[in-house]
Chain A
Amino acid sequence: MSRKRMVATAAMLAGALMLTACGSSPTGSGGGAALKIGFMGDLTGENSGIVIPPRNGAKLAVDEYNATNPETPIELVVYDSQGNPDQAVPLTQQAVQQDQIVGMIGPAFSGESKAVGPILEQAKIPSVSASATNPGLAQNGWVYWHRIVANDNDQGPGIAEFLIRAESPDNAFVISDDQEYSVGLADAVAQDFEAKGVTVERDQFAQAASDYSSTISKVTAANPGVVVYGGYYAQAGRLLKQLRDAGVTAVFASGDGSLDPGIISGAGASAAEGAVLACPCNIPFGATTGPLAEFSERYRAAFDTDPAIYATEGYDAATLFVDAVKAGNTTPDAINTYISGAMLDGVSKKIAFKPNGEPDVNAIFIYQVKDGSLTLLGPSTEATLG
């Protein structure tokens, strides 16, 4: 088989797969012809755990809208890119040319967003991502691109400024392992601390290490007001356990990579108690009153599970499109104009966009381990430690 024919066959096969993939999730109902809104992200791959919740959130918003029997119902078309830019590109072309979507929620990740952005921009299709946090995405001059979450550059300062307000430490100890995300976050936190006059000491260990005794002796010698770890929950849990075992009682804080129940099982419930975690995402962990609790209730009723990471952002992204359609906008251009100027009092936060598509306010949310489970304290500018 010639190379050309192989490619053609592969493309046909892929096309057939896509048809089955998106044919399975029409949610349209009601009167007139449904407008199609796409949702793109990793729904079956290794990171689907952080894309299925925003998909559910988006579906909830669309279903709630369609249940009101509107004149123009919305059909949510789901595209499973597996988070892979190579799959996202042909899926987007299909969405634009064949399915004629008028808007896109996603893509969920930064890599696929970067690949897909030019296509959507050229086709003038508005998009809102609920979870792509790479800072570079906003620097492409895209007019039709938006995101709801703060970018990676905002998380470090968010953590540092919250800790300064909550604990007013004289000195901080900032730790990371040797992974890119980890070092980047630790650098950002340390820079912001130093800019605000907090003395910073640093240490770094290997990702695969399990004995952190040399790091611990540095921390005990420095006797810091706060300890910040940039990194993922597995290492954060082990580090936190060894810190507490060595009698370090300073507040321990980390970022979104550690916002996982795994940090509690890794450190042990007593060592993990009181740990502070930050995320650009708003997860209604432990919300019992207000709009977040109501949202959790509706989400649970629809999907039989608690809302997890980016669920509220997915709901808000879909709500933007729903509101645009409600306001009588049915063409991609009109919808984009509406969204770009929208002021939405969303479930996750108040949403408005800068001209470059970034959220107007870079909200970081603070969580704390309380009674052995993760609890939302609120936005970093308002939260107080329990």
Chain B
Amino acid sequence: MFDDFVQQFLPSTVGGLAIGAIYALVALGYTMVYGVLRLINFAHSEIFMIGSFAALFVILSVGVTAPLTGVALLGFLLLLMVVAAAVSGGAAVLLEVVAYRPLRRRGAPRLAALISAIGASLFLQELFALFVIPDVFDRPGRIDTAVPRIVDRDVLFSIGNADVRTDQVIVVIAAVVVMILLDQTVARTRIGRGIRAAAQDPEAAVLMGVNIDTVVRLTFLLGGAMAGVAGVLYAMEFENLRFNIGFILGIKAFTAAVLGGIGNIRGALIGGVGLGLVENWGAIFFGSQWKDVIAFVILVVVLLFRPTGILGESLQKARA
């Protein structure tokens, strides 16, 4: 048992960091929307899925036939992220306008918005399975769609017995850079101040001249953009997309958000990476079939002792 742990610890850590970074990016969308609207946007997992397909669309349009390297790779990844972030951000804003704003206007209870979110989630999944994937991508709607390889699986360096590959490094670095950008945007810009104000006290924010609709739209846009970037990284790393890839990943990301402290941007990072690591470490001892059990046991234990999550502090209290 201990031998297993020694041998598998470092490789599992590398794998856990990569998937954890993707959890964290998706978790940001849950956390920001919750912070501002007190709404769990269950359709956010589909915003992530849309981002991954946007990336695939660009890859197929450009016609990448061989893995890229160097500047070409960086430039192309940047292009993918910008396009996917725009598509996902746009989809998230549209989702807000169609599925949530009418309810908010009429002062509907939060439960109604939650049901609306679940409905939107199913609608988007089926929309892709029945129309978008068969018609736009010309593939069967309900099975894996392969993504052409854009990054080679070269071993970049080794730590102990763990080989670290280029694609894994890209996933982690890209996720961290994007998260720092978001954190700084919320902490230092006018937009960010608006978001924090609306999260803290919506009514006072309105009285102070904050346009609450604009703030909500920006929140969905930023959260959606993060999910879009996550979609690019997922497509690049796992190379198989499906209409329901967001489902399990969305649940994990939501867990990560709660684990880190829902409404807290840095908490999402800690929750996501922590979840990815703990899952993989637990699998060393109990087998990979226990991954999900381990993840949720950890969640329950953390919430028992820290009901507001690891960082606890929420978006409204975050200071620049």
Contact = CB atoms under 8 A, between A and B. Distances in A.
Interface of A: 178, 202-206, 208-218, 220-221, 234, 237-238, 241-242, 245-247, 262, 265-266, 268
A171 to B, nearest CB: 14
A246 B237 CA distance: 12
Contacts of A214: 8, 12, 15-16, 279-280, 283-284, 288, 291
A215 B146 CA distance: 21
A14 to B, nearest CB: 30
B143 interface: yes
A268 B239 contact: yes
Given A203-B288, A217-B8, A245-B165, A238 B144 contact: yes
Q: Which 10 A-B pairs have the closest CB atoms?
A: A213-B15, A214-B283, A217-B11, A221-B7, A204-B289, A245-B153, A205-B288, A211-B19, A214-B280, A217-B8
Contact of B15 (A209, A217, A234): A217
Main SS class of interface, A: helix
Interface in B235-267: 238-240, 245, 247-249
Contacts of B240: 210, 237-238, 241, 266
Nearest to B4: A221
A208 B248 contact: yes
Given A205-B289, A208-B247, A238-B240, A213 B144 contact: no
A265 B167 CA distance: 20
Interface of B: 4, 7-8, 11-12, 14-16, 18-19, 143-144, 146, 149, 153, 155, 163, 165, 167, 238-240, 245, 247-249, 279-280, 283-284, 287-289, 291-292
A213 B16 contact: yes
9 contacts: A203-B283, A203-B288, A205-B288, A205-B291, A209-B288, A234-B144, A238-B238, A246-B153, A265-B144
Contacts of B167: 245
B239 A262 contact: no
A266 to B, nearest CB: 5
Given A205-B291, A213-B18, A241-B240, 10 more contacts: A206-B288, A210-B238, A210-B240, A214-B288, A214-B291, A220-B11, A234-B144, A238-B240, A242-B238, A245-B167
Contacts of A217: 8, 11-12, 15, 280, 284
Contacts of A178: 289
A109 B245 CA distance: 31
B238 A211 contact: yes
B2 to A, nearest CB: 13
Contacts of B12: 213-214, 217
A266 B147 CA distance: 9
Contacts of B283: 203, 214-215, 218
B248 A209 contact: yes
A113 to B, nearest CB: 28
Contact of B288 (A208, A215, A221, A241): A215
A269 to B, nearest CB: 10
A196 to B, nearest CB: 24
A107 B138 CA distance: 35
Contacts of A204: 287-289
Nearest to B19: A211
Contacts of B11: 213, 216-217, 220-221
Nearest to B238: A210
A212 B163 contact: no
B143 A262 contact: yes
Given A208-B247, A212-B288, A213-B19, A241 B7 contact: no
B163 to A, nearest CB: 7
B290 to A, nearest CB: 9
A242 B239 CA distance: 10
Contacts of B7: 221
Contacts of B288: 203-206, 209, 212, 214-215, 218
Give the one of A208, A221, A237, A247 with max B CB within 10 A. Answer: A221
Nearest to B22: A211
A238 B145 CA distance: 11
B289 A210 contact: no
B232 to A, nearest CB: 15
A216 B248 contact: no
Contacts of B155: 247
B289 A241 contact: no
Nearest to B10: A217
